[in-house]
């Protein structure tokens, strides 16, 4: 694989691969990135600093949802414990700042590594099961992590833990400045999403999709099915861990409720709303879900009820999520 720093898809080298994203809208991620980068300045000019934090949160959940979409949509692995990895990343930040590490970058890298390790351990057992049993066993492991964090009294137990201060960013960046933190988050999420996007079009990504469609045939073709699934699970776990670590850093707060099973269910909801296996499924789902929740919360205390009605309606009438309503496009990707 070549250099993977830009969120824009390179396209050309991968065009022969059926699952590669169509090169048609190559400019879209760039424009989006520019708009998002300009947002803090615009928000500050308009006196709407509140929205910086909101969009930052949406970006982080977009990353977590995109990693889960890779697992569910591309890999066919319905994991109902993804919030466990978000929590693992977040609590790694707490553990390391407690330990005295002050620089954010090694902390974030370690959070990804720890989450990936947790995902390998959990995946190694879970991936032996299928169907509902896989759903339930991933849920069980996430609940175990939840209770382990719940009993960490030195980190506040059930009440959660407030970081004494944000880790330092270095490079002359001020971590206390919300707009700076926003730009760092944007850059990391963009890079991570770009990597994930390239990965989906790579040989590895296509093999994972092949396993989703017919694992027996892939096995017969000589692909190491179990190992490929495990690697995909670890990658998704690491990205969720990064999202959790950044959430913990931005909020300067962690609590076990970040990894409660309803959070995992909410991530699945985002993925389905945005479109399973769709390139933009994760980000769109996070934007729609969190955006709707925030909007409704401004009008009513009972904002969950309309969202619940929406979910039931989507499940009954638009099971492919918002992608159901997308206009049919000319031609296929292949």
Partner 1 sequence: MSATLIFEQLLNGAGYGLMLFLIAAGLTLVFGIMDVMNLAHGSLFMLGAYVAALVHVHTGSFALAVASAIGTMAVLALLLETTVVRRLYGRDHLVQVLATFGLILIADDAVKMLCGPAPLLAPTPAAFATSVELLPGLPYPAYRLLILATGIAVALGLYALVNHSRMGMLVRAGASDRWMAVLMGVRVHRVFSGVFVLGAALAGLAGALMGPVMAVQAGMGEAILIPAQVIVVIGGIGSVRGAFVASLLVGLVDIIGRAFLPPVLRTMLPPAVAADLGPLFSEVAMYALMAAVLTFRPTGLFSPKAA
Q: Which residues of the chain form contacts with partner 1 (CB under 8 A)? A: 72, 78, 80, 125, 128-133, 135-137, 139-141, 143-144, 147-148, 150-151, 153, 261-262, 265-266, 268-269, 272, 276, 302, 304-305, 307-312, 314-316, 319
Provide CB contacts within 8 A for 307, sequence distance 6+: 289, 292, 293, 296
Strands, E assignment, the chain = 161-162, 253-254
Min dist CB 195 to partner 1, Å, is 25
Tell me whether residue 216 or residue 316 sits nearer to partner 1 (CB atom).
316
Tell me whether residue 16 or residue 316 sits nearer to partner 1 (CB atom).
316
Please count the residues of the chain: 334
Strand partners, 254: 161
Tell me whether residue 120 or residue 191 sits nearer to partner 1 (CB atom).
120
Min dist CB 76 to partner 1, Å, is 10
Strands, E assignment, 214-265 = 253-254
Query: What distance in Å separates the CA atoms of residue 23 and residue 81, rounded to the nearest whole number?
Result: 33
Provide CB contacts within 8 A for 249, sequence distance 6+: 93, 104, 107, 108, 163, 166, 167, 175, 181
Whether the CB-CB separation of 62 and 287 falls below 8 Å is answered with: yes
Q: DSSP letters along 160-179, please?
A: -EE-SSPPB-BTTB-TT-HH
Min dist CB 308 to partner 1, Å, is 3
Min dist CB 58 to partner 1, Å, is 19
CA distances from 271 to 264, 322, 327 (A): 11, 10, 19
Residue bearing tokens 């970081």: 163
Tell me whether residue 106 or residue 319 sits nearer to partner 1 (CB atom).
319
Backbone angles phi, psi at 230, to 5 degrees: -65, -40
Q: Which of 315, 10, 33 is nearest to 183 (CA)?
A: 33
Tell me whether residue 32 or residue 314 sits nearer to partner 1 (CB atom).
314
Min dist CB 149 to partner 1, Å, is 10
Tell me whether residue 223 or residue 261 sits nearer to partner 1 (CB atom).
261
Tell me whether residue 13 or residue 136 sits nearer to partner 1 (CB atom).
136
Min dist CB 259 to partner 1, Å, is 13
Min dist CB 40 to partner 1, Å, is 32
């Amino acid at each position: 694989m070549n250099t993977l720093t830009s969120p824009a898809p390179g396209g050309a080298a991968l065009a022969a691969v059926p699952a590669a994203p169509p090169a048609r809208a190559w400019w879209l991620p760039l424009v989006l990135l520019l708009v998002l980068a300009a947002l803090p300045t615009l928000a500050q000019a308009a006196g709407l600093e509140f929205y910086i934090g909101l969009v930052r949160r949406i970006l982080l959940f977009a990353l977590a949802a995109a990693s889960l979409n890779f697992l569910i949509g591309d890999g066919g692995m319905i994991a109902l414990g993804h919030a466990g990895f978000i929590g693992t990343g977040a609590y790694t930040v707490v553990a390391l700042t407690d330990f005295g590490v002050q620089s954010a970058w090694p902390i974030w890298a370690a959070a990804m590594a720890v989450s990936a390790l947790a995902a390998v351990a959990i995946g190694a057992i879970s991936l032996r099961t299928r169907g509902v049993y896989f759903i339930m066993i991933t849920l069980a492991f996430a609940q175990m992590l939840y209770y382990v964090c719940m009993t960490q009294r030195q980190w506040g137990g059930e009440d959660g833990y407030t970081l004494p201060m944000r880790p330092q960013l270095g490079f002359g960046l001020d971590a206390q400045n919300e707009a700076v933190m926003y730009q760092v988050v944007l850059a990391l999420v963009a890079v991570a999403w770009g990597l994930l996007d390239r990965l989906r079009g790579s040989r590895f990504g296509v093999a994972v999709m092949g396993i989703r469609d017919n694992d027996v045939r892939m096995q017969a073709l000589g692909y190491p099915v179990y190992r490929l699934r495990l690697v995909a699970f670890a990658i998704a776990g690491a990205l969720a861990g990064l999202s959790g670590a950044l959430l913990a850093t931005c909020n300067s707060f962690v609590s076990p409720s970040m990894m409660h099973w309803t959070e995992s269910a909410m991530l699945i909801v985002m993925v389905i709303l945005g479109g399973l296996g769709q390139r933009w499924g994760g980000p769109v789902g996070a934007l729609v879900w969190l955006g709707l929740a925030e909007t409704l919360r401004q009008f009513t205390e009972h904002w969950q009820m309309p969202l619940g009605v929406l979910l039931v309606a989507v499940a009954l009438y638009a099971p492919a999520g918002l992608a159901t309503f997308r206009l049919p496009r000319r031609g296929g990707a292949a």
